[in-house]
Chains A and B, each alone.
Chain A
Amino acid sequence: MLPIISVSALNKVYPSGLQALEDVDLDIARGEIFALLGPNGAGKTTLINIICGIAMPSAGTVRVAGHDNRADYRAARGRIGLVPQELFTDAFESVWATVSFSRGLFGKPPDPAHLEKVLRDLSLWDKRNDRIMTLSGGMKRRVMIAKALAHEPEVLFLDEPTAGVDVELRRDMWALVRALRDQGVTIILTTHYIEEAEEMADRIGVIRAGRLILVEEKSVLMRRLGKRQLRLQLSHALPALPAALASHPLDLSADGMELIYTYDAASDQTGIADLLRELGAAGIDFKGLQSRESSLEEIFVNLLRGHP
């Protein structure tokens, strides 16, 4: 199927000479939730701004549902809704006026019923006549989302939707994103919270210093890069790792009460059986053990350090 967004050979050099994006290629499938992860200054916002037409690329093309976003900007931009990273609002406008404005701006005839649904979904209906400046930060963020949804976009960009948002609103946001996906809306979000990507995304892209260094299904990513850990709670504290066990990828906890064995989840040869035998031979007793998969966070940190 034709990707809803297709970015190819995208480069961006800011007038300052800074290369914010370098040969970025990315296809987004219709209906997926794609999470773009990367540290501050990696180029996430720059990429989104170019796709949405706010910033100009230095080279490369962006297609939205097959339409070039510059030559055929009407067809391309009309399909996109954007919630930018920062809170940009018209302080003196009412909530209702600002969402009506957004809908009109994107070329759609008035549809009060749709706007009412959007505002109700975001718990903004009671605030529809309030001036935006009287709303709290979290409410303003919801207004930004309502504006982006006012014209019924096919693709929604959420640039750090949950930055500075409390736990409850974050849960609400996640629920909203899922509901939108169920309606067929494609969602591209950027985040620093890895748990958010882990919780939400179908696919994950990692961007570092302007380069897209990895794009992968979340499940595949976690399987491929995931490590498992076996933690053994010892009966007696060890002062140091016994030399006999030095050949194993083992760590000793600071209090000496726990041995941590890290192994590759995908491998057939986990080496656990050997380890347990050698522990027995060395006379090390343990009273309990747990095994767990490493989180996406650990994968991410490893990736950015440059060794998966």
Chain B
Amino acid sequence: MNRHAVGAIYRFEMARWLRTLLQSIAAPILSTSLYFVVFGAAIGTRMGEIEGVSYGAFIIPGLVMLSLLSESISNASFGIYMPKWSGTIYEVLSAPVSALEILAGYVGAAATKSVLLGLLILATARVFVPYSIAHPVWMALFLVLTAVTFSLFGFILGVWADSWEKLQIVPLMIVTPLAFLGGSFYSIAMLPPLWQKIALVNPVVYLISGFRWSFYGVADVHIGVSLAMIALFLTLCIGVIAWIFRTGYRLRR
């Protein structure tokens, strides 16, 4: 195990983040605050409770997931796309590091950043709405699992993309819509029956439902199903990445 290499990549990625710390922190705090002002205060006061939870509190887990997804993907995809684009990837490819170590460095750093971000959003939310976390361990598990899974997904995206456009199009056209339709701002039960069925093919629904359950003990789908879905997606990402490294797909010429 080349732990020095994992450390080097991890520190490099974290340093990149720290260089733009203000932006990394200010942007999510601002956007979360806006959500609470608009949805929590302005609209939320006119909404009744959803499954016994005030609307302001109800949207918190979804908001965290929304940021977690997009930050994990953008961080990890940028982290690996950048050296590919600038050419500095030559060094990683010529170094005595295994695929797993490269992953641990890049994905580890991306996931760390998103988890920190998630916690920051939770703290910000606290300023606006009182809430409690019923199952903190489950909450942490969901937070980390989601961060890791979507950082892996971002890594795949970064390896696949051969232009800045492609790098942005997947988060923009696929992930953001899925996340918005994933029940951040409403319960699936509020949809017409047909749409409820359609919603169930959206993987983000399971993430948000599971995460919300860890807060309030209420969920759209069973917590076991949520866990199974995220495990499935995690396995899928690992499989794709294993294939990438075995074939050198878009990494080695």
Which residue of chain B has the shortest Cβ distance to A157 in the bound complex? B94
Interface string of A68-88 (1 = CB under 8 A from B): 000001111110101010101
User: Smallest CB–CB gap between A41 and chain B, Å?
Assistant: 15
Interface string of A223-255 (1 = CB under 8 A from B): 000000000000000000000000000000000
Which residue of chain B has the shortest Cβ distance to A48 in the bound complex? B94
Identify which of A76, A84, A105 contacts B92 (C-beta below 8 A): A105
Contacts of B92 in A (CB 8 A): 105
A contact residues, total (Cβ < 8 Å): 35
CB–CB A97/B94 < 8 A: no
CB–CB B253/A147 < 8 A: no
Contacts of B8 in A (CB 8 A): 100-105
CB–CB A108/B88 < 8 A: no
C-alpha spacing A266/B7, complex, angstroms: 59
User: Smallest CB–CB gap between A89 and chain B, Å?
Assistant: 7
C-alpha spacing A92/B17, complex, angstroms: 12
Which residue of chain B has the shortest Cβ distance to A74 in the bound complex? B96
CB–CB A53/B88 < 8 A: no
Given A54-B90, A77-B96, A147-B91, A105–B9 Cβ distance below 8 Å? yes
Which residue of chain A has the shortest Cβ distance to B9 in the bound complex? A105
Given A55-B253, A104-B5, A104-B8, A80–B248 Cβ distance below 8 Å? no
Given A55-B253, A56-B252, A77–B15 Cβ distance below 8 Å? no
User: Smallest CB–CB gap between B243 and chain A, Å?
Assistant: 15
Contact of B86 with A by CB under 8 A: yes
Which residue of chain B has the shortest Cβ distance to A78 in the bound complex? B96
Interface string of A163-200 (1 = CB under 8 A from B): 00000000000000000000000000000000000000
Contacts of B252 in A (CB 8 A): 53-56
CB–CB A105/B93 < 8 A: no
Q: Which of A56, A76, A82, A106 has the most chain B CB atoms inside 10 A of its CB? A: A106
Contacts of A106 in B (CB 8 A): 4-5, 95-96
User: Smallest CB–CB gap between A267 and chain B, Å?
Assistant: 47
Which residue of chain B has the shortest Cβ distance to A80 in the bound complex? B94
Interface string of B156-176 (1 = CB under 8 A from A): 000000000000000000000
User: Smallest CB–CB gap between A172 and chain B, Å?
Assistant: 23
* Count of chain A to chain B residue pairs whose CB atoms are closer than 8 Å in the complex: 84
CB–CB A88/B90 < 8 A: yes
Given A54-B253, A74-B96, A77-B96, A107–B87 Cβ distance below 8 Å? no
User: Smallest CB–CB gap between B133 and chain A, Å?
Assistant: 38
Given A73-B96, A107-B96, A49–B253 Cβ distance below 8 Å? yes
Identify which of A54, A74, A86, A93 contacts B2 (C-beta below 8 A): A74
Contact of B178 with A by CB under 8 A: no
CB–CB B12/A101 < 8 A: yes
CB–CB A82/B4 < 8 A: no
B contact residues, total (Cβ < 8 Å): 27
Contacts of A73 in B (CB 8 A): 96
User: Smallest CB–CB gap between A157 and chain B, Å?
Assistant: 9
Contact of A52 with B by CB under 8 A: yes
CB–CB B4/A104 < 8 A: yes
Contact of A109 with B by CB under 8 A: yes
Contact of A217 with B by CB under 8 A: no
Contacts of A97 in B (CB 8 A): 12, 15
CB–CB B93/A109 < 8 A: no
Contact of B19 with A by CB under 8 A: yes
Contact of A121 with B by CB under 8 A: no
Contact of B97 with A by CB under 8 A: yes
Identify which of B19, B83, B91, B253 contacts A102 (C-beta below 8 A): B91
Q: Which of B9, B19, B97 has the most chain A CB atoms inside 10 A of its CB? A: B97
C-alpha spacing A53/B253, complex, angstroms: 10
Contacts of A107 in B (CB 8 A): 2, 4-5, 95-97
Which residue of chain A has the shortest Cβ distance to B94 in the bound complex? A52
For window 73-122 of B, CB contacts with A under 8 Å fall at 83, 86-88, 90-98
Given A49-B253, A106-B5, A88–B88 Cβ distance below 8 Å? yes
User: Smallest CB–CB gap between B212 and chain A, Å?
Assistant: 39
Contacts of A74 in B (CB 8 A): 2, 96, 98
Contact of A297 with B by CB under 8 A: no
Q: Which of B88, B92, B94, B97 has the most chain A CB atoms inside 10 A of its CB? A: B94
CB pairs A–B below 8 angstroms (27 shown):
A53-B252, A54-B93, A56-B248, A56-B252, A77-B94, A77-B96, A78-B96, A82-B90, A82-B91, A84-B90, A88-B90, A88-B91, A89-B86, A89-B88, A90-B86, A90-B88, A92-B16, A93-B12, A97-B15, A100-B8, A101-B8, A103-B4, A104-B5, A105-B97, A106-B4, A107-B2, A108-B4
Interface residues of B (CB under 8 A from A): 2, 4-5, 7-9, 11-12, 15-16, 19, 83, 86-88, 90-98, 248, 252-253
Beyond A53-B93, A56-B252, A77-B96, 13 extra complex contacts between A and B, CB < 8 Å: A49-B253, A53-B252, A55-B253, A56-B248, A74-B2, A82-B90, A90-B86, A92-B19, A93-B12, A104-B7, A105-B8, A107-B97, A109-B4
Q: Which 8 pairs show the lowest CB-CB distances between chains A and B?
A: A104-B8, A88-B87, A74-B96, A78-B96, A77-B96, A52-B94, A107-B2, A55-B253
